[in-house]
Chain A
Amino acid sequence: MNETPVPETSERYKTLIVVLTMITTVITAIVATLQADANIRANTANRDSQYYAILASGELQRSGLQSSYDLNTFARVLLEQQTALMMQFTSLEMQQSNDKMGTALSNISALAAQARADKLASFSVFYTDPRYAPKTSDELPNADAYLADTSAKANEIVSKQNAAADDYHEWSSKADSYVGVLTVMAIAFFLFGLAQALTGRMRLVFAIFGAVILFVASGWAMLILIV
């Protein structure tokens, strides 16, 4: 009658440990690759976030110069229009008091102010651009639409910058977490190495410890990958 050969005590569980070590190696290799990938993605997102920050600062400066020019022009239009009006009132008053010189001076000032106001209005987007120009003479220009349009591009760049910064934080956090997993994997390797060196019951104990740690580390890596 043939009996199944019983392995020597020194060889018992050795194959199990080799298989576990092999599994650990493969998982470690996968996690190391994922860590490198997460690191690269974090670097790329970091780069994009810095680039968009540069673009946003430039656009904010440009739109600031533009709105300063536009609002200054608009303010000058209002000033000259009101100056022309005041000078016309003054001219009428001078006329009523028979002050011919005063009337003439006031008329010249009113004429000059009106000419300046008309020319300035042709420079102002608040009068020339149909998106902002008042529909009737009583209305004011649409300042809200102007402000929204002026800041639209900067806002768009800033939102891209924010998205890139969020990506950077996400990938950087993942890369850091993978380093944690790799450290735990190193512990599993150490335990399997000890198990390989030991014999008997202690070999199995260390193999079980290693397997538990391998299981936990694998679960952690899966969690990082999914979340």
Chain B
Amino acid sequence: MLKRLNESPRLDIFIAVIIAVVSATTAFAAWRASMVSSAAGDAIRQGLIDAVKKQTASSEDWRRTYEEAGHAQTYAVTLAQVEAFENSSDKAAQAQAKNMRQYLLPNLQLIVDLTKDDKYLKSDGTYDLDQRFADLEAEAPDLAGLSPEASFKLSDQYSSEQRWLTVGVVLLAISLFWLALSQLNTKRSRLATLAIGAGIYLIGLVWFGLVELIFLIVRGGAL
């Protein structure tokens, strides 16, 4: 009976249909693995773009902070000189101090944001540059809020999924090999190779579905 089944043309057609189904599934799985790989690449690209934007904004904010710090220092030093003149007994120095306080200091203060707001003034008379930098960063929340790390985390998830999907694709490819072997075989081992091929295909299919499901949940439903 087994011999008859082995040589049956219906089995030939059945195996051919299975091969067609497995081929289509393998092609779909390979496409999906490629899509996931592409998504990982996109996330890396987005993360790097965000990193460049964020770093450029941060560098510009530091440049502005130190530029303002230089101006604020000039103001503070000039003020110290004025105070020294005011406290001296020399009449010329006092007159000079009066004019400097009236005309020079207000003009110097015009160009310095650090000296306009008392929150930047520290108890020792210097300025809080870290606070100024934080405020400058807060002025552009869209740039400061960029998170390359979030994109990199997403790319890690996609890469991990790609890794496991590849295993699934390999299982499907192996099943295809065994099914092809069973199609070529006409002897008693035909049914055995068919069973092995079909078994590996089912394992590959379940594997693929599980990997997709797990990573879908991890990403909160995003493909």
Chain A interface residues toward B at CB < 8 A:
11, 18, 21, 25-26, 29, 32-33, 36-37, 40, 43-44, 47, 50-51, 54-55, 57-58, 61-62, 65-66, 68-69, 72-73, 104, 107-108, 111-112, 114-116, 118-120, 122-123, 128
Contact = CB atoms under 8 A, between A and B. Distances in A.
B108 to A, nearest CB: 14
Interface string B38-63: 00110010011001100110110011
B196 to A, nearest CB: 9
A33 B167 contact: yes
A128 B52 CA distance: 35
Contact of B124 (A50, A69, A122): A122
B19 interface: no
A29 B174 contact: yes
B219 interface: no
A29 B204 CA distance: 13
B84 interface: yes
Contacts of A33: 166-167, 170
A68 B66 contact: yes
Contacts of A58: 55-56, 58-59
A114 B84 contact: yes
Contacts of B170: 29, 32-33
* Main SS class of interface, A: helix
Interface string B100-135: 000000000000000000000000111000000000
Contacts of A72: 70
B159 interface: yes
Interface string B71-84: 00100111111011
5 contacts: A32-B170, A40-B159, A47-B44, A54-B48, A65-B63
B55 A54 contact: yes
